[in-house]
Structure 1
């Protein structure tokens, strides 16, 4: 059992809090936002936001320019946090507390030369001044003051490129209010956007596409395109990307648009087959606004939830439209082998990106007697449809996204299905709870995708925990009836780590949750049976016996929705133990609240990991591309910082 901590708000201060089994029941305490400041919400009037934000920013710019960091005492709250993605280092950091921030600015600003900080009025069409008031809770018996902050979009320059960011400023009634506009910094986020000399070839920088005039021996676009796929010998890719899914495509697209050559190696016959080959009725559980790929949004007619085959076709179209270089039907085993001709290609890239899926290889447990079982045992990654099992018994081992989808498919195809839930699951409904977390960011009324990503990624982990707690609390209110019905059926629910729900689980382990699209009602109605808290003991010729002695007979198929192993295992399989032994843990958060190794230093020079859902890969692929290019240009002295 996880450790018991009575106050969930105390757990919000932990990078990796314990698992809990119910929502946080209270609003965010004022002390978590205002610290020891005395709030002065009266100054936060709509027509006053821009002037007071300008006063604060003017003083802040002066401190940064003159490097007189002691004056930050009047501008930054003692409990504040600075989250930085490659503007003040070449990696990801979160610094907590005024003294820690001052120390890092003293050390890093001279090397990275943060300057030209301005309000970005083009970031969000909803707030043309670049400044807005964001209210989480209105005054209540729990909090006599509102839980709110002034949100300010910023843009700036560094020694190496341009960046964007987001400020959260809280009202303060301290004696130095004239100096800082009555505001103190609560959180700041800074992220590198472009490198000088490798600016993204977009908009007015887009390629001409033709060379007008007379050119003897002119070569057509199609001929050049075919030639671009040829590698080997004197022509070597700077970056070899293993995997042509969303991560591989996104990294390759970022590198191309920034001017660096890459080649994707995909083991399937076509780009997009990693989605096409999954179970037949799979549809993305995140809405379209969260799922755009970099540089090429889905069209306005695109459905809110994307069918997996439609997404696979889009991936192929994406690779061709962006003129990415890829080899399909190839297997990397140190050398590259054509799966049909068995021809071997030798490539010598400078960098290698593992983009085979952040979860790695299918995790396939084995059981006593499985060789005697006359039915079918498959991992969820191998399952297609339950159509052939009408009128028969099916078992799904697991209780997260894939397990729910597959169990629903079996039911709809006329099978009798039992879901084996071994531990607990965090469930959130796609139409109710999930929309709470995405509202105002990834929805029809939200800002442009790049700004939405910045908002989503801008929260340091302590604030992220607090906000996720409130989102899950609201989701539980909306889904109260279903929660009661699932519990009554013996399905064990959890609320994620410290009540942060599904998103807290995703960022820390990449699993353990389900975005419900219909299966929960089938469980609640008893149409999908649940066997909770037991493991499979052994197989018989026609069924399964569990460790509690119970059994299910006359079983035709068992689907193991048991997840995936660590991507490091895939690296070891391809490159051997010598390489894998140097690689760091991939998923989860480090002691500052940032991803451990994915999209950053892996432990092995020039070896990088990329993976995650479409939102994650869209945002972090840019940073990885910038890091690789900066290293190629000799800007980086220390890969770990």
Structure 2
């Protein structure tokens, strides 16, 4: 059984039920023989320190002697690198590719040290992590020694981790080999992140002839004309646009956020009335500023207010009520001409940034399927993006087409606001986890009150190559499905079909590949189980004057409102609508995973020069905004 990324790792088949076994031994140890006694009878700190010292020596000699690394690596070792060895998001799979890359760029990381400040729970920078103990029939434990790393060179400052497994191999230093290695660049040495201890002074003390106030400087900074132009025009002022703007500002670069809504946060304010975040506060912190008084699960209006305050407190340059109407790229100059229009005055301006960052949400435009005979229906048909409140339909009958997060939220809203009858039309099965059990299990010891600081939490989330991510997600979903067993059984009895995600990896596996296909239960599952929200499993054949006929021959009749909770298109489609075919034809598809297990085209080169996609949930926006900022800076500074 191969552990390298292949179709079974990148796009595994759906599983109806959770993967019901521990991680197979061969997926971790490969063909090597495990040696748990080595870890059991030695101090892990001494083992880790000794191994890292020898590994650093081998790295120092790798250009002259790349084969010297072989004794540290397994045939299936993967080095996952986010910008430390090269300016992209890459996974170097197997010793040969690892050595080839290190020969080119090992000087960018140089010498690793244990990071003793990374996680308060492990003051030595070393942790023994046991996923499964020794099995009842002598199966080797699934465990590794986890090393928190840091490095600093003339090139940059970064962090990372190594997972060491114990094997019986005479060549292995101290009996340990690297299962996976992860490195991530945090800043270029010559372009420090001006935050925390490196924050700007602000006040300019002393004699200042023709001194200007802070307000005057802010007004000049946002008045783009002549030679004064932003380095980046950021299209969209949601969490994606604001986080990349915040990162670029922290590194000292001028950017402009162009938002078509009247206010920052309107992309949340204008959504359905009772929307709230389904992820806990610890998961969705934004860079530089968060409130310890924030509720665990913010409502959409609370979060909208926070985003507006965030933009003001970080002094981000924002033009609201302004729409990007087109853009042309001059390859000879490496410069865009971006046309924007004020929605109120219709005034048109042209901007000349080096980069365009497209931040309209990774889901793209609403996916609004057309069904036969819709024009005959005498009620109302809307997409979920246009739904406001079920209170507008009190005493009436509703159908919600779809069965993921938005569909559940809207169905629950209809029921709670006094609609006479609401039915959810489930066209395919849905992965369901509860907020109470499932989310806590997925976030446990990382994004919770006992977890480390947010940068370390992000390191723990992103440090695994895809095959390890899959294996760990399988075990998480296995555990959460047991905790959610009564809910899942109740849904099944009610006729609602569930699945365990792609390859049994649950919600996160679906999010990484599709961005949809799941529901985090915050109340609607109980309504379905109790029959308060009805479920029908089929597809629409056609509309009638008063309802819909389904392909199983049944009819849902006497409907007043139909909501299409049918998701969104690819982000590339939205870019085509804004920039036209000349730009979009060069863009690659966005989201899902490439052959190495990294996300395609988002937060990294898009296919078109100086055009970048930025999006994702709050945790993704937080982590990848810095990675994207560093790629733009690296290109501009010629690093």
Q: TM-score, normalised by structure 1?
A: 0.94
Whether contact under 8 Å (1:13, 1:462) holds in the other structure is: no
Task: Give the corresponding residue for 2:175.
Answer: 182
**CA distance in 2 between partners of 1:385 and 1:170 (Å):** 54
**CA distance in 1 between partners of 2:4 and 2:609 (Å):** 39
Say whether residues 1:515 and 2:496 are aligned partners: no
The correspondence for 1:348, drawn from 342, 352, 370, is: 352
Deviation at 1:214, TM superposition (A): 3.5
Question: Helix, strand or coil for the counterpart of 2:256?
Answer: strand
Write the deviation string for residues 49-91 of structure 1: whole angstroms up to 9, x where unpaired.
Answer: 2211111111110011111221222212222111111111111
Task: Give the corresponding residue for 2:281.
Answer: 288
Question: Helix, strand or coil for the counterpart of 1:617?
Answer: helix
The correspondence for 1:598, drawn from 588, 602, 606, is: 602
Q: Which moved more, 1:139-148 or 1:165-174?
A: 139-148
Task: Give the corresponding residue for 1:441.
Answer: 446
Q: CA 1:487–1:464 in 2, change beyond 3 Å: closer, same or farther?
A: same
Deviation at 1:14, TM superposition (A): 2.0
**CA distance in 2 between partners of 1:10 and 1:254 (Å):** 32
Q: 1:446-465 maps to which residues of 2 (within 5 A)?
A: 446-465=451-470
**CA distance in 2 between partners of 1:211 and 1:265 (Å):** 30
**CA distance in 2 between partners of 1:310 and 1:380 (Å):** 21
Task: Give the corresponding residue for 2:587.
Answer: 583
Question: Helix, strand or coil for the counterpart of 2:560?
Answer: strand
Tell me which stretches of 4 or more aligned residues in structure 1 moved more than 3 Å. 7-13
**CA distance in 1 between partners of 2:319 and 2:530 (Å):** 48
Task: Give the corresponding residue for 2:613.
Answer: 609
Question: Helix, strand or coil for the counterpart of 1:290?
Answer: coil
Write the deviation string for residues 385-422 of structure 1: whole angstroms up to 9, x where unpaired.
Answer: 10122221011110000000110111111211000111
Deviation at 1:10, TM superposition (A): 11
Whether contact under 8 Å (1:87, 1:158) holds in the other structure is: no
**CA distance in 2 between partners of 1:305 and 1:204 (Å):** 31
Question: Helix, strand or coil for the counterpart of 1:395?
Answer: strand
Whether contact under 8 Å (1:362, 1:381) holds in the other structure is: yes
Whether contact under 8 Å (2:4, 2:93) holds in the other structure is: no
Whether contact under 8 Å (2:192, 2:251) holds in the other structure is: yes
Q: CA 1:9–1:331 in 2, change beyond 3 Å: closer, same or farther?
A: closer
Q: CA 1:232–1:541 in 2, change beyond 3 Å: closer, same or farther?
A: farther
Whether contact under 8 Å (1:418, 1:531) holds in the other structure is: yes
Aligned alpha-carbon RMSD (Å):
1.9
Say whether residues 1:266 and 2:270 are aligned partners: no
Task: Give the corresponding residue for 2:143.
Answer: 148
Question: Helix, strand or coil for the counterpart of 1:116?
Answer: coil
Task: Give the corresponding residue for 1:61.
Answer: 56
Write the deviation string for residues 413-458 of structure 1: whole angstroms up to 9, x where unpaired.
Answer: 1211000111111111111012111101100000000000011000
**CA distance in 2 between partners of 1:63 and 1:13 (Å):** 34
**CA distance in 2 between partners of 1:13 and 1:39 (Å):** 25
Task: Give the corresponding residue for 2:331.
Answer: none
Task: Give the corresponding residue for 1:36.
Answer: 31
**CA distance in 2 between partners of 1:619 and 1:579 (Å):** 27
Question: Helix, strand or coil for the counterpart of 1:545?
Answer: strand
Say whether residues 1:126 and 2:121 are aligned partners: yes
**CA distance in 2 between partners of 1:12 and 1:565 (Å):** 23
Say whether residues 1:326 and 2:312 are aligned partners: no
**CA distance in 1 between partners of 2:578 and 2:458 (Å):** 33
The correspondence for 2:82, drawn from 85, 98, 104, is: 85
**CA distance in 1 between partners of 2:633 and 2:139 (Å):** 50
Task: Give the corresponding residue for 2:436.
Answer: 431
The correspondence for 2:504, drawn from 479, 487, 499, is: 499
Deviation at 1:95, TM superposition (A): 2.1
Deviation at 1:105, TM superposition (A): 2.3
Q: 1:377-392 maps to which residues of 2 (within 5 A)?
A: 377-392=381-396
Task: Give the corresponding residue for 1:161.
Answer: 156
Deviation at 1:379, TM superposition (A): 0.9
Q: CA 1:73–1:230 in 2, change beyond 3 Å: closer, same or farther?
A: same
**CA distance in 2 between partners of 1:345 and 1:97 (Å):** 51
Question: Helix, strand or coil for the counterpart of 1:255?
Answer: helix
**CA distance in 1 between partners of 2:596 and 2:623 (Å):** 19
Q: 1:359-378 maps to which residues of 2 (within 5 A)?
A: 359-378=363-382
Question: Helix, strand or coil for the counterpart of 1:249?
Answer: helix
Task: Give the corresponding residue for 2:554.
Answer: 550
Question: Helix, strand or coil for the counterpart of 1:507?
Answer: helix
Task: Give the corresponding residue for 1:238.
Answer: 231
Q: TM-score, normalised by structure 2?
A: 0.95
Task: Give the corresponding residue for 1:638.
Answer: none
Whether contact under 8 Å (1:241, 1:355) holds in the other structure is: yes
Whether contact under 8 Å (1:266, 1:328) holds in the other structure is: yes
Whether contact under 8 Å (2:4, 2:467) holds in the other structure is: no
Q: Which moved more, 1:360-369 or 1:514-523?
A: 360-369
Task: Give the corresponding residue for 1:639.
Answer: none
Question: Helix, strand or coil for the counterpart of 1:26?
Answer: coil
Runs of 5+ unmatched residues, structure 1: 636-641
The correspondence for 2:623, drawn from 619, 622, 625, is: 619
Whether contact under 8 Å (1:276, 1:309) holds in the other structure is: yes
Deviation at 1:34, TM superposition (A): 1.8
Task: Give the corresponding residue for 1:483.
Answer: 488
Whether contact under 8 Å (2:373, 2:544) holds in the other structure is: yes
Deviation at 1:507, TM superposition (A): 0.5
Aligned length: 624
Task: Give the corresponding residue for 1:98.
Answer: 95
**CA distance in 2 between partners of 1:156 and 1:10 (Å):** 28
**CA distance in 2 between partners of 1:11 and 1:144 (Å):** 26
Question: Helix, strand or coil for the counterpart of 1:199?
Answer: coil
Deviation at 1:158, TM superposition (A): 4.8
**CA distance in 2 between partners of 1:627 and 1:41 (Å):** 41
Q: 1:1-16 maps to which residues of 2 (within 5 A)?
A: 14-16=9-11
Question: Helix, strand or coil for the counterpart of 2:264?
Answer: coil
Deviation at 1:260, TM superposition (A): 1.1
**CA distance in 2 between partners of 1:494 and 1:90 (Å):** 37
Deviation at 1:197, TM superposition (A): 1.7
Whether contact under 8 Å (1:11, 1:17) holds in the other structure is: no
Say whether residues 1:71 and 2:71 are aligned partners: no
Deviation at 1:142, TM superposition (A): 6.0
Q: Which moved more, 1:216-225 or 1:164-173?
A: 216-225
The correspondence for 1:567, drawn from 553, 560, 571, is: 571
Q: CA 1:209–1:592 in 2, change beyond 3 Å: closer, same or farther?
A: same
Say whether residues 1:309 and 2:301 are aligned partners: yes
**CA distance in 2 between partners of 1:410 and 1:224 (Å):** 49
Task: Give the corresponding residue for 2:22.
Answer: 27
Whether contact under 8 Å (1:8, 1:499) holds in the other structure is: no
Whether contact under 8 Å (2:3, 2:76) holds in the other structure is: no
